[in-house]
Amino acid sequence: MSAPKSVVTGGCGFIGSHMVDLLLADGHEVVVVDDLSTGREDNLAHHKGGPGLRIVRADVADGERMATEFAGAEWVFHFAALGDIVPSIERPTAYIRAGVMGTLGALEGARAAGVQRFVYSASSSCYGIPDQYPTPETAPIRTEYPYSLSKHLGEQLVLHWARVYRLPVVSLRYFNVYGPRSRTSGAYGAVFGVFLAQKLRGHPFTVVGDGTQSRDFVFVTDVARANLLAARSTVRGEVFNVGTGRPQTVNRLVELLGGQGVLHVPKRPGEPDRTEADIGKIRAALGWEPAVSFERGVGTVLENIDYWRDAPLWTVEKIEAATREWFRRLA
C-alpha cells in the first residue's frame, strides 16, 4: 500500500517546515510548494536525501500549476503567506495578493485534484483588540492592518469554497506561535527571533512599553499537531482558535531567556495589551490540547539558539525608527 500524499504550501517556512516534519514522521509522502520569498530550504535540510519529500519552487497563486502538483494528494495544508504588520502597511498589494490570490490558487488546485481535506492557516490578528477574554471564535472581526485583512480574506475564501464547492475545509486561527526556525524579520510579531538575535550579540532586549503586555504563546509543534488532527477529523467548514489560553507577559519571556538588560521602546497604536485564546471549541471538536509548557518551549528555543546567529539584528535605534514610521503612516 502506497503512502498517503500531502501537500504543504509554504513548507519551507517556520510553521510549514514543522508540519512537514510531522507528516514525514507519520509516514506521508509530502510535496512542499514554496516560492522561497520568505521560506528557507535550510529549514528542511535535515530531510535531504531522505525518502518521501519533494520540494517544488512555484507560486501558489498559479491555480493550474497547483492542480498538477496537488494531483493524488489527500490533504493540503496551506501555510503560504506573507507575515508581519509593518511590511504589510508598506506593501499592501503584495500582502493582499499573497493572502487572497495565493489562497485562491491553492483552493482551485485542491478542488481540481479532489483533495479530501484542506486546512487553512488563519490568524488571531483578525480580532484586533477584542472585547472579550479569553477570545472565542465568535468575537467580532476587526482587521486593523493589511496583514490581518489578507489572512481574514483568505479565510473567507476558504469558507466560501466549502459552501459553494463542498470542499472539505477547516480554518485554524493561530495565536502567537513560537519555536525553532521562527522568523526574525520585522520589529513586530517576531519577538522571539528579535530577542534571540539580540541575546547572541550581547545587546539588550528591546521591550515594547513596560513589558506587562501578555501574549498567548503557543509552541509550533502543538500548532502542527492541531493541523494534523484537523485533517484527520470529519469536521468541515469550521473555524478554530489555536492557542493555550494561558497568556505570558513579555517580561516573563525576558526572564526565561536571561540576558543583558532591557531597553524600552514606545508602544504602538492598534496593538492589544493581551491576547488569550478560548480553545474550548477545538478541545471539544478535535480533542486538541497544547502539550508544550511555556517554560519547556522557551528552553527548546534556547537549545536551538544557533539558528538565529546570522539573523538580522534589530537595534533599539532601528526599532525606534520603525516605530516613528509606524506612527507617521497611521497619523
pLDDT at 187: 38
Tell me, what's the pLDDT at 186? 45
Extents of the domains making up the chain: 5-177+219-242, 179-215+246-274+293-330
Q: For 208-221, what is the mean pLDDT?
A: 94
Q: Answer positive or negative: Cα dihedral of 98, 104, 107, 111.
A: negative
Q: What is the mean pLDDT of residues 3-15?
A: 96
| Fold of the domain built from segment(s) 179-215+246-274+293-330 | UDP-galactose 4-epimerase; domain 1 (3.90.25)
Partners of 158 in beta bridges = none
Which residues have CB under 8 Å from 296's CB, separation 6+?
none
User: Which grid coordinates are listed for 236?
Assistant: 468541515
| Lowest-confidence segment of 42-51, 79-88, 133-142 by average pLDDT | 79-88
**Catalytic residue numbers, as ranges:** 147
Q: What is the pLDDT of residue 321?
A: 61
Determine the length of the chain: 331
Architecture of domain 5-177+219-242 in this structure: 3-Layer(aba) Sandwich (3.40)
Q: C-alpha grid cell for residue 192?
A: 522571539
Assign 3-class secondary structure to 228-258: HHHHHCCCCCEEEEECCCCCEEHHHHHHHHC
164 burial level (CB within 10 Å; 0-12, 13-18, 19+): exposed
Per-residue pLDDT averaged across 123-139, rounded?
96
- Would you place residue 330 in the very low, low, confident or very high pLDDT band (cuts 50, 70, 90)? low
pLDDT in tens, 62-74: 999 999 999 999 9
Sign of the Cα pseudo-torsion (98, 137, 191, 39, in order): negative
* pLDDT (0 to 100) of residue 191: 81
- Average of per-residue pLDDT across 262-271: 79
